[in-house]
Each structure stands twice: as structure tokens, then as C-alpha cells.
């Protein structure tokens, strides 16, 4: 889609289109290589982790806002907050998977995938239990 948008930008602008046509006329036998900038979603592992952290923080803020301000009539915010936290957890899992796949094949971290998955989901479950305790018993 990004390549199509860049092609449309060239076709829309008369000067850029003229320069492109002139280039094509000068070297008809040589195929031009399509170059496009990387997509915005290719932010890397650190960008994914930051996005996951922000999602979890926003979800926690919504849950705690409803819980500690006594705004029980805004219960849909609790559902939204839980969904945002779940989305952040899935993004963190994706970042962990991408980080593991970016390692070289002989790296020890690639051999212990099951242990990493178990540890990740145990941490998520423990944090969920802690959040549940906080939501039900604190105040």
C-alpha cells in the first residue's frame, strides 16, 4: 500500500511525473527498481515493547479510575480498560516472539521457547491475579 501511495504521489505531481517519464525514455531497456521507505509499523522490538507498555498503562489507568473514584456507572470503561490491557499483553508477546526470531540460530534463547512461553504467561497470570486482588480488596 505504501508503494502504491508513493506511485500515486509521483503521478499526481506534474513535475515529478515529467521527471519520471524522462527517466523512462532515456533508459527503456533498463528496468527501474521500485524503492519505498519501510512501513511505519516496522518499529522493531523496542517500539513494540513501548507500545505494549503504553497499552498496559492506559488500561490500568482506566481500570483504576473506575475502581478508586467510585465511578461504577462508568463500567464500560472497565471493559475497555481490560481490552486495552489484553491488547498490550498480546503486543508484548509479539515483541518477545520477534526478539527471539531475530537471534541467530545457535543462540541458546532460541532453544528454550517453551520455557519462555511458560514464564511469560505465568508473569501475565500473576500480574492479573495481583490486579484482581487490588481491584477487589484495596481501599
What is the DSSP annotation of 61-125?
HHHHHHHHTT-GGGHHHHHHHHHHHHHHHHHHHHHHHHHHHTS-TT-HHHH-HHHHHHHHHHHHH
Q: Could you report how far apart the first and last alpha carbons of the chain are, in Å?
A: 50
Spatial contact of 39 and 2, defined as CB atoms under 8 Å apart = yes
Choose from 24-28, 70-74, 113-117 the range with maximum mean pLDDT.
113-117
pLDDT confidence of 138, banded at 50, 70, 90? Answer: low
Q: What is the mean pLDDT of residues 102-128?
A: 86
pLDDT confidence of 28, banded at 50, 70, 90? Answer: low
Q: What is the mean pLDDT of residues 34-46?
A: 68
Which DSSP category does 4 fall into? H
pLDDT confidence of 53, banded at 50, 70, 90? Answer: very high
pLDDT confidence of 32, banded at 50, 70, 90? Answer: low
pLDDT for residue 1: 76
pLDDT for residue 70: 73
Tell me how far the alpha carbon of residue 20 is from its chain's centroid.
35
pLDDT at 78 over 90: no
pLDDT at 35 over 90: no
Amino acid at each position: 500500500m505504501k508503494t502504491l501511495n508513493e506511485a500515486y504521489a509521483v503521478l499526481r505531481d506534474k513535475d515529478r511525473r515529467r521527471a519520471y517519464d524522462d527517466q523512462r525514455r532515456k533508459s527503456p531497456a533498463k528496468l527501474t527498481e521500485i524503492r519505498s521507505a519501510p512501513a511505519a509499523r516496522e518499529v522493531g522490538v523496542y517500539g513494540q515493547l513501548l507500545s505494549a507498555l503504553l497499552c498496559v498503562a492506559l488500561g490500568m489507568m482506566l481500570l483504576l479510575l473506575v475502581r478508586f473514584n467510585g465511578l461504577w456507572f462508568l463500567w464500560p470503561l472497565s471493559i475497555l480498560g481490560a481490552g486495552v490491557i489484553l491488547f498490550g499483553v498480546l503486543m508484548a508477546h509479539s515483541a518477545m516472539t520477534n526478539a527471539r526470531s531475530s537471534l541467530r540460530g545457535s543462540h541458546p534463547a532460541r532453544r528454550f521457547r517453551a520455557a519462555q512461553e511458560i514464564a511469560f504467561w505465568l508473569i501475565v497470570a500473576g500480574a492479573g491475579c495481583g490486579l484482581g486482588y487490588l481491584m477487589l480488596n484495596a481501599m
